[in-house]
């Protein structure tokens, strides 16, 4: 486990080949894979006392994660999979045990450093997410500068904004000045902006890019809320619709989509409409083709 200039801890257990240009999947944990309670101070206070069995996965997400790890081909790909969590690093064993229970393999994880944040008298950083996500993504990118990343977040912690700013900077749409402007607009503190600029300046060349940004609609926002960030940002209504979108992108096998659907079906009251309604919406937004959906049903 290593410490960064920005108060976070990161652990990368896999050394990719030099110049690796393949696909890498980076997942936010909270409200994207696990149902955590970062929206209130009471929820923050309970997190350090939770055990692995207390952590609840969003229905269907473990199946999607296992499918991404396996890959879309006939042979298992063991695709690079990394996690980002605003939880404190002393919860690492709890989170890893939960992943073990779910059968989710991964290669690395980044946590927010709560202890340093408190010692620096910066309690507001515990809930500030844009700066944390930018620092986490830039830290991971230094280890795999030329890859194509697919990012997974939610609509609770401003992931769409954070990930989009990161992608635009990575691909040259934003320079250092543009990055500074975007961070100021989103309320990233001056000290954190300085640390993020240091991380950004340390990226080796050439850089890779971001493929897609998938946002889990935990709060129930309409997909149209993210129209200004299309087509890079793709909002999805739960794990099954995410699986459909990944099938359309050529990143999941049909059996992984069926497994996600079966897991979601066990939920008594679907939060995002029936599965048929999710399929209709996915087709309307061109997340996949009718032919792909037909083959899935067959």
**What's the pLDDT tens digit per position in 49-86?**
555 445 789 999 999 999 999 999 999 999 999 999 98
Nearest to 58 by CA among 88, 25, 28, 90: 28
Alpha helices in 152-289 (DSSP H): 159-170, 176-185, 190-201, 238-248, 254-265, 275-284
**What's the pLDDT tens digit per position in 72-81?**
999 999 999 9
Domain-by-domain residue ranges, the chain? 2-60+74-237
Helix (H, G, I), strand (E, B) or coil at 108: strand
**What's the pLDDT tens digit per position in 160-195?**
999 999 999 999 999 999 999 999 999 999 999 999
Angle between helices 130-143 and 176-185 (to 10 degrees): 150
**What's the pLDDT tens digit per position in 109-152?**
999 988 887 877 677 777 789 999 999 999 999 999 999 999 99
Name beta bridge partners: 273.
Answer: 271
**Regarding beta strands 148-154 and 233-236, do their DSSP bridges make them parallel or antiparallel, or are they unpaired?**
unpaired
User: pTM for this one?
Assistant: 0.92
């Amino acid at each position: 486990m290593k410490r960064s200039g920005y108060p976070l801890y990161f652990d990368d257990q896999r050394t990719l080949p030099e110049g690796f240009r393949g696909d890498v999947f980076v997942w936010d944990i909270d409200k994207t894979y696990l149902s955590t309670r970062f929206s209130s101070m009471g929820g923050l206070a309970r997190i350090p006392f939770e055990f692995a069995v207390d952590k609840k996965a969003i229905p269907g997400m473990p199946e999607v994660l296992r499918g991404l790890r396996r890959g879309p081909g006939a042979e298992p790909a063991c695709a690079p999979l990394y996690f980002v969590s605003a939880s404190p690093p002393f919860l690492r064993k709890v989170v890893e045990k939960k992943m073990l229970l779910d059968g989710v393999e991964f290669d690395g994880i980044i946590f927010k450093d709560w202890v340093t944040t408190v010692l620096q008298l910066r309690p507001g950083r515990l809930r500030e997410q844009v700066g944390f996500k930018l620092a986490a993504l830039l830290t991971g990118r230094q280890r795999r500068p030329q890859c194509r990343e697919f990012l997974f977040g939610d609509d609770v912690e401003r992931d769409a904004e954070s990930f989009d700013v990161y992608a635009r900077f990575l691909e040259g749409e934003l320079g250092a000045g543009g990055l500074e402007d975007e961070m100021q607009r989103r309320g990233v503190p001056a000290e954190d902006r300085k640390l993020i600029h240091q991380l950004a300046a340390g990226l080796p060349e050439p850089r890779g890019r971001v493929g897609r940004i998938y946002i889990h609609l935990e709060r129930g926002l309409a997909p149209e809320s993210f129209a200004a960030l299309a087509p890079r940002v793709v909002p999805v209504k739960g794990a099954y619709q995410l699986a459909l979108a990944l099938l359309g992108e050529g990143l999941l096998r049909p059996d992984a989509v069926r497994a996600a659907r079966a897991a979601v079906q066990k939920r008594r009251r679907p939060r995002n409409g029936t599965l048929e309604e999710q399929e209709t919406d996915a087709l309307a937004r061109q997340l996949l083709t009718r032919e792909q959906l037909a083959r899935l049903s067959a």
